[in-house]
Amino acid sequence: MLCIITEWRKIMNHIKNGNTHQINPKNIGINSTAEGMALYRVMESEKKVDERICCDPYAVFFLSETIRGLLHSNSDQLTRYMEVIDAQYPGLSNSVLARTRFFDDVINQMLNDGLDQFVIIGAGYDSRPLRIERLKKIKTIFELDQKEIQCRKRELLSGISEKVPENHVYISIDLEKDNFFESLTKQGFDPSLRSLFLMEGVIYYLSPDSVTSVLSGITQKCGRDCSIIFDYPSRPPQGIMGDHQRSIEKIREHIQNVGEQFKFIIPGDDVNQFLMNHGFTIDQKLSGSELKARYFTGINSNRIVSPLMSVVLAHVTPDAE
Please report the pLDDT score of residue 236 as a whole number.
60
Q: Tell me whether residue 238 is exposed, middle or buried, using C-beta atoms within 10 angstroms of its C-beta: 0 to 12, 13 to 18, 19 or more.
A: exposed
Averaged pLDDT of the chain: 84
* Separation of alpha carbons 312 and 103, rounded Å: 9
- Residue 109's SS3 state is helix
| Tens of pLDDT, residues 186-198 | 999 999 999 999 9
Please report the pLDDT score of residue 31 as a whole number.
56
CA distances for 273 relative to 108, 124, 252, 268, 279, angstroms: 27, 29, 26, 9, 10
Q: Is the pLDDT of residue 320 over 90?
A: no
Contact 209, 178 (CB under 8 A): no
Please report the pLDDT score of residue 250 as a whole number.
63
Q: Is the pLDDT of residue 300 over 60?
A: yes
* Higher pLDDT among residues 43 and 268, named by residue: 43
**Residue 84 — very low, low, confident or very high, per pLDDT cuts 50/70/90?**
confident
How, if at all, do strands 195-199 and 168-172 pair? unpaired
Diameter of the chain by CA atoms? 61
Contact 154, 127 (CB under 8 A): no
Beta-strand runs (E) in the chain = 117-121, 140-145, 168-172, 195-199, 226-233, 280-286, 309-316
Question: Would you say the C-alpha torsion 113, 116, 60, 78 has a positive or negative sign?
Answer: negative
Residue 189 CB: number of other CB atoms within 10 A? 20
Q: Is the pLDDT of residue 75 over 80?
A: no
Please report the pLDDT score of residue 16 as a whole number.
46
* Separation of alpha carbons 174 and 205, rounded Å: 12
**Residue 253 — very low, low, confident or very high, per pLDDT cuts 50/70/90?**
low
Q: pLDDT > 90: what percent of the chain? A: 61
**Residue 3 — very low, low, confident or very high, per pLDDT cuts 50/70/90?**
very low
CA distances for 219 relative to 19, 113, 176, 223, angstroms: 49, 20, 19, 8
* Separation of alpha carbons 177 and 58, rounded Å: 31
| Tens of pLDDT, residues 20-58 | 444 445 444 455 788 889 999 999 998 999 999 999 999
Question: Of the candidates 92, 36, 16, which has an alpha carbon nearest to the alpha carbon of residue 257?
Answer: 36
Please report the pLDDT score of residue 29 as a whole number.
46
* Higher pLDDT among residues 2 and 268, named by residue: 268
Q: Is the pLDDT of residue 182 over 60?
A: yes
Q: Is the pLDDT of residue 249 over 70?
A: no
* Higher pLDDT among residues 167 and 66, named by residue: 167
Please report the pLDDT score of residue 234 as a whole number.
84
Q: Is the pLDDT of residue 240 over 50?
A: no
Tell me the mean pLDDT in the region 106-117.
Answer: 98
Please report the pLDDT score of residue 122 as a whole number.
96
